[in-house]
Amino acid sequence: MGTVDKNCWMRDPQHLDEPLNPVVCFRRDFTLSSAGNVRITVAALGVFDLYLNGEKLTGEELFAPGWHDYRFRTGKRSYSVVLDKGTHTVSVLLGSGWYDGKIAGKDRKNPALFIELLLPDGQTVSADTLWQCANDGPYIYSDIYDGEKYDANRQWQNWHAPELCCFDVALEEPSAEPVCKIKRYLPLSIRRGIVDFGANITGREVLRFTAPQGSVITIRHAEVLNADGSLYTENLRKSNSCNTVIATGNPQVYEPLFTFHGFRYLEVAGVEEFEVEAWSIRSGYRMHLDFDSSSGLLNQLVRNISLSWQDNSLAVPTDCPQRDERVGWLGDAQVFIKAAAYLSDCTAFFRNWLKDVRLHCSPDGAFPIVAPFLTRFEYYNVAGWSDAGVICPWVLYEFTGNLEILRENYPAIRAFTLLRRRNFEAGTLPEARFGDWLNLDDPTSPELIGCAYLCYSTEFAARCAAELGETADQEMFESFLARYKLYFQKNLASGMVSQTAFAHALHFNLLEKEQIPSAVDALVRHIREKSNTHLATGFLGTPYLLHALSGHGHADLAWELLEQTTYPSWLFPVLNGATTMWEHWDSWTPERGFKDPNMNSFNHYAYGAVLDWIIGFAAGIKPDMDIDPHPGGTLGFMKVTFKGLTVYWEKVADGAYRCEITVPEDVPAFFRGEKLSPGVHEFIL
């Protein structure tokens, strides 16, 4: 055995401080005196694939061990395998992932590998002087933003001793589903080298081809096409999103290793004859919502919302999968988490991410705006974004009833709530740095947004305290909330002018009883007269607008907005070929073409938060399985299956609706508070 330090990591001493670096291979031989079980534990600051005697052990997992706040933790993976007596070779491919490469920005560092083999005789193999590493293999680089350059003509040859180093980083067992392949897509068409897969996905391609040795094949990715049929890539900004393959002269099958792309279209250049397919990838949680209705447009909207959620849940909840961003924005997550919970069993996914939200808190207790940590987004206590640290745990609890979720987040929630109270007493409201992001010329005052979210988060903090039996905290937070609402009523209510302002005031229950009727009337007038029955809300107002209307006697108007087909509306992108949710209401219009490419994602789930209203109000399925449907609009029927329970309603004679609820054996359910037995129940609404 070599000299061993069990606390040691390994990294390539030839690593260069550059945005794009090669994948590094580490290898070591070890000898067993008798057959037996070998347990291998691997962790990385970066991403890895593990091999034993040339066979991949990482299985279906991609980007192991995921993305974490590397200042404090990373994931580890363990594998057990029975080996015969004799000499064996363990090898690991280590890539930049989120630790190095362009996404890391100025936080970029040399990736590092931790590995430990427990042999049948009790000996341990870990980082020692018998390991070798090489950086001159086929993966010239494999970067999340820029894609991959791969040359199978190159072989690992420059073997040298790794640098041994130590990191004070917790190694954690996986607490959420790993990233894996989800769905295979075949081309709808291939014209002049441009491949259309029919849906905007997060994933990568598998290309089969033969080309003369040394030929350069480039594979570019795009979400949409220009009018002339070429790839529209301006919105990728500084993300190159291109895979480059150097041909060997023999038949090849190419699939990227440590990169992913957001795309519907590929452009394959450098080879004329090829076969190609694509795979979507994401964290491997289970989907548990089925939706159908008499409206094909609404059905497509729900499919778009679902696909955008899946496309933006690769290791962490991200904002977009295509451009030079792809980070864990808290604001996007908090507005969408209810929709995500209706769509999928995403509890473990979000709990894992919330660890990094808590780790990224400021010393005084403020939640950040992104997690995991990235220096370029190091801002705290931002209204509508930082509130995710309170809102997301509460929503997960609503859908699961799991008190442990509240317990693990409560200390951070309490610190945050007390910090905001101190700030309020000092005359400071939470900063609305981003306002009502991407609203349509209908801005909301920063003070109103700051106070509205101050109230909203404090209410959830009080609820958390109540559920956990923290009575003193509950009473304290409720007293805070009463003070904040009074401030809103006296200082901000008279200044409400936007759809979002009214939606927040009404849905967050911020107004005095006598203020509500005029606020409701003003919101209706705004929508009908100023906006011509269209949306004007941004990220922070959109999730609550329909709830504010339906909760105050105007469900008919909420349905009109949902079914509106002209810009700006939810169905306008659907009518214009969208297969995912757009970042802007007008990411593209026939009159103006594309929005400013500096920020124009065609796969951004935030506006899909309307699914919460569709399922929770229209279908009437509450997180606790209390069913209260509200049919309406022009729909003849709606059918929703959530966690095995099905709600179906259809329009019958005289404007009435027949509702059928099918309750499985293992699902406790209620209808307007009354317990339902397993079986089929029919009601007239």
What are the tens digits of pLDDT across the range 482-506? 999 999 999 999 999 999 999 999 9
| End-of-domain residue from the set 602, 618, 634 | 618
Q: Is residue 76 part of a domain?
A: yes
| End-of-domain residue from the set 119, 146, 172 | 172
The CA-based angle 642-648-652, given to 5 degrees, is 165
How many domains does the chain divide into? 3
Instruction: Establish whether 583 is a catalytic residue.
Output: yes
Collapsed DSSP state (helix, strand, coil) of residue 115: strand
240-286 pLDDT, tens digit each = 999 999 999 999 999 999 999 999 999 999 999 999 999 999 999 99
354-391 pLDDT, tens digit each = 999 999 999 999 999 999 999 999 999 999 999 999 99
CATH number at residue 19: 2.60.120.260
Q: Is the pLDDT at 4 greater than 80, yes or no?
A: no
Q: Is residue 639 part of a domain?
A: no
423-481 pLDDT, tens digit each = 999 999 999 999 999 999 999 999 999 999 999 999 999 999 999 999 999 999 999 99
147 and 192 assigned to the same domain = no
Q: Is residue 105 part of a domain?
A: yes
Q: Alpha-carbon distance 17 to 96, whole Å?
A: 12
366 and 472 assigned to the same domain = yes
391 and 520 assigned to the same domain = yes
96 and 215 assigned to the same domain = no
Q: Alpha-carbon distance 104 to 19, whole Å?
A: 9
313 and 419 assigned to the same domain = yes
Q: Report residue 556: phi and psi, to 5°.
A: -60, -40
387 and 279 assigned to the same domain = no
Q: Alpha-carbon distance 302 to 609, whole Å?
A: 10
* Helices and strands, number each (H, E), in the chain: 13, 36
327 and 233 assigned to the same domain = no
Of these residues, 61, 116, 223, 583, which one is catalytic? Answer: 583
66 and 168 assigned to the same domain = yes
Q: Is residue 629 part of a domain?
A: no
Instruction: Establish whether 325 is a catalytic residue.
Output: yes
What DSSP element (H or E) covers 451? helix 446-467
Contacts for 411 with CB less than 8 Å, ≥ 6 apart? none
230 and 343 assigned to the same domain = no
276 and 338 assigned to the same domain = no
Of these residues, 148, 325, 459, 470, which one is catalytic? Answer: 325
Average pLDDT over residues 676-681: 97
pLDDT of residue 653: 85
586 and 475 assigned to the same domain = yes
Which residue type is seen at 207? Answer: L
Range of the domain at 207: 180-283
Antiparallel, parallel or unpaired: β 132-134 and 637-642: unpaired
pLDDT of residue 7: 62
Q: Is residue 672 part of a domain?
A: no
CATH number at residue 539: 1.50.10.10
Q: Is residue 342 part of a domain?
A: yes
Q: State the sign of the Cα–Cα–Cα–Cα dihedral 322, 326, 330, 334.
A: positive
User: SS3 helix, strand, coil % of the chain, rounded to 5?
Assistant: 30, 30, 40
pLDDT of residue 5: 46
Q: Is residue 94 part of a domain?
A: yes
194 and 160 assigned to the same domain = no
Q: Is residue 37 part of a domain?
A: yes
Entry pTM: 0.97
Contacts for 340 with CB less than 8 Å, ≥ 6 apart? 309, 313, 317, 346, 350
Collapsed DSSP state (helix, strand, coil) of residue 529: helix
Give the confidence band of 3 by pLDDT, cuts at 50, 70, 90. very low
Kindly report the three-state secondary structure assignment for every residue of 606-631.
Answer: HHHHHHHHHHHHHCCECCCCEECCCC
| End-of-domain residue from the set 172, 205, 230 | 172
The CA-based angle 326-364-393, given to 5 degrees, is 55
pLDDT of residue 451: 98
Q: Alpha-carbon distance 251 to 158, whole Å?
A: 27
